[in-house]
Chain A
């Protein structure tokens, strides 16, 4: 991966909201803004690198303690607003390197911080807010579980710098004692291990793979194109269930998640005593 995580996130946050700064009280790594999306207002949230972050292990765009609790706060705030008005969509712009790998983080229970953010997104979704994840760069492991993976609909750019995976290449190579090239080859044989976003799309969890001209610095035309896709995803989310079942009913899922779907079907059949 050549791109520094978070650069695209910031560019797209600015392009979609006109803002590029954190709200008062939030860490510099958490960007939140309410902006027009079609006819309605949506809340856009993005995690970016902050070299001045308090915690040293998040300065390259990792999702750490402050980011996770900040996410939870801003999502819950949107839920509170939704009590008295239309349930605004929440768009998670995802370009995160991973979760933070630090001793401070583990000591202060980052697992709980991540859980809290995921719980907030899921609560918003279950209460009827359309949650859309737009993966503009990297979406890795705990970072993606915390920010984006609880979405109703996931969109991603069809681009070499977009990587959705459980562990970034270099770390996976170190842990499995393989070379990066070997891992890439393995990904061609075993689709869920692939680092190619087109293969991720084949797994059936993606709502749409977007072909955009200039993902690093989008033109107004590109921004308009993406906004149209987001609006469409919001409508699709509103028309569907508030759970994650759409990830199982896609063509991709029917092809690539057969074993899981069969296990689920059997669990349903066997649940009640014959």
Chain B
């Protein structure tokens, strides 16, 4: 028998970030309920990568587990950040869209089925370009189809973060959970430096990157819902709470007037101070904006 009472909690803590996507997904579902769909042994691989000399992955970097959370039906869709930076291709996109559509179908028929998205992704897989981009458009549509019935909960844990077109998927989600290590943005620092120059964004300035895209900033400015520790049990507990809560009364991406006002109020003559943005945006929240 192990007596773990003398072991510090920090040692017992299991890092979520260190887990592969499949293990992350499993850690969120009620024990014994996880069932993988279109799993690795079916070898639904990218038809486009081998022709370009790139080794495919048996699940195309998208893992779909169906099960329950707090005894409620849930589908967890996890992107494997270690495979092609979690980028979306024809097959991974199709798996994600199909799973969301099936959850929506069940929900429309009376069995509300939430979705948890583990977004570890740089966006479109450039080696599949237009099929990847089209897949992201379809995933966005499918999230919007499901979220009217059941919550779509995006978890961004790192280390890849959530960038590119997939940041719109986070943006239309019901809830977004981020660790401090995680980043969320449309364009990464390297792309901005490349397109607009180093003065616009010095991509070697890591502090600046996290000051703008990091979990603490995104939660602080109210564009993500909860800052979570890199702890598998705690993350599972947070996800449970959002599954139980159901969809929000109003989704963040439906609050057009609030965000239009916030953008109009910005002084564009210089770069925005991220910390000041947290203050001003949480102030407009307290003034009654339904954020």
* Complex contact flag A–B (Cβ < 8 Å): yes
Q: Which A residues fall within an 8 A CB radius of B?
A: 54-57, 65-66, 69-70, 72-73, 76, 99, 101-116, 118-120, 122-123, 126, 141-142, 144-146, 149-150, 164-167, 171-172, 174-176, 186, 189-190, 192-194, 200, 203, 205, 243-244, 247, 256-264, 266-268, 270-271, 273
A141 pairs with B124, CB closer than 8 A: yes
Check A99–B187 contact: CB distance below 8 A: yes
Prevailing SS type, chain B contact patch: helix
Q: Are B133 and A260 in contact (CB under 8 A)?
A: no
Rounded to whole Å, the gap between the CB of B289 and the closest CB of chain A is 14
Chain A residues near B165 (CB, 8 Å)? 141-142, 145, 166
Q: Is the CB of B44 within 8 A of A266?
A: yes
A175 with B48: CB separation less than 8 A? no
Question: Given that A104-B271, A126-B144, A190-B51 are known contacts, is A271 also in contact with B66, CB under 8 Å in the complex?
Answer: yes
> Of B51, B90, B170, B251, which is within 8 A of A260 by CB?
B90
B window 157-173: CB within 8 A of A: 164-165, 167-172
Closest CB in chain A relative to B145 CB, distance in Å: 7
A146 to B164, CA, bound (A): 12
A118 to B186, CA, bound (A): 14
- Chain A residue with Cβ nearest B48: A190
Residues of chain B at interface, number, CB under 8 A: 83
Name A109's contact: one of B60, B102, B145, B218 (CB within 8 Å): B218
The 8 Å CB contact of A267, one of B95, B144, B200, is: B95
Contact B90 A115 (CB under 8 A): no
Q: Beyond A109-B223, A175-B126, is A118–B266 a contact (Cβ under 8 Å)? A: no
Name the A residues within 8 Å of B132 (CB-CB). Answer: 166, 192
Given contacts A166-B126, A264-B98, contact A142 B44 (CB under 8 A): no
Q: How far is the CB of A26 from chain B (nearest CB, A)?
A: 10
Output the least CB separation between B149 and chain A (Å): 12
B66: nearest chain-A partner, CB-CB = A271
Which residues of B in the span 175-227 have a Cβ within 8 Å of any Cβ on A?
A: 184-187, 191-192, 194-196, 200-201, 212-213, 218, 221, 223
> For residue A194, which residues in chain B have a CB less than 8 angstroms away from its CB?
130
The answer to whether A176 touches B94, judged by C-beta atoms less than 8 angstroms apart, is: no
| Contact residues in B for A69 (Cβ distance below 8 Å) | 256, 259-260, 263
On whether A118 and B194 interact (CB within 8 A), knowing A69-B260, A112-B253, A166-B133, the answer reads: no
- CA of A120 to CA of B185, assembled, Å: 20
Q: Are B192 and A101 in contact (CB under 8 A)?
A: yes
Interface-central residue, B90, B133, B144, B221, by most chain A CB under 10 Å: B133
Tell me the residues in window 265-291 of chain B with beta carbons closer than 8 Å to chain A beta carbons: 266, 268, 271-272, 274, 277
Least CB distance from B81 to A in Å reads 18
Whether the Cβ atoms of B137 and A271 lie closer than 8 Å is no
- How far is the CB of B269 from the nearest CB of chain A, in Å? 10
- B136 is an interface residue with CB less than 8 A from chain A: yes
Interface residue B10 (Cβ < 8 Å from any Cβ of A): no
Within the complex, the shortest CB–CB distance from B129 to chain A, in Å, comes to 4
Write the chain A residue with the least CB distance to B257: A73
Measured CB to CB, the closest approach of chain A to B276, in angstroms, equals 10
Chain A: CB-nearest residue to B173:
A115
Alpha-carbon gap, A99 to B169, bound state (A): 16
| CB-contact partner of B127 in A107, A115, A190, under 8 A | A190
B248 within 8 A of A: no
Residues of A within 8 A of B272 (CB): 104, 107-108
Determine whether the beta carbon of B126 is less than 8 Å from that of A167: yes
Asked if A111 meets B128 with Cβ closer than 8 Å, knowing A99-B187, A260-B91, the reply is: no
Q: Bound state CA distance, A195 and B268, in angstroms?
A: 35
Q: Does B232 contact A (CB under 8 A)?
A: no
State whether A268 touches B102 (Cβ < 8 A): yes
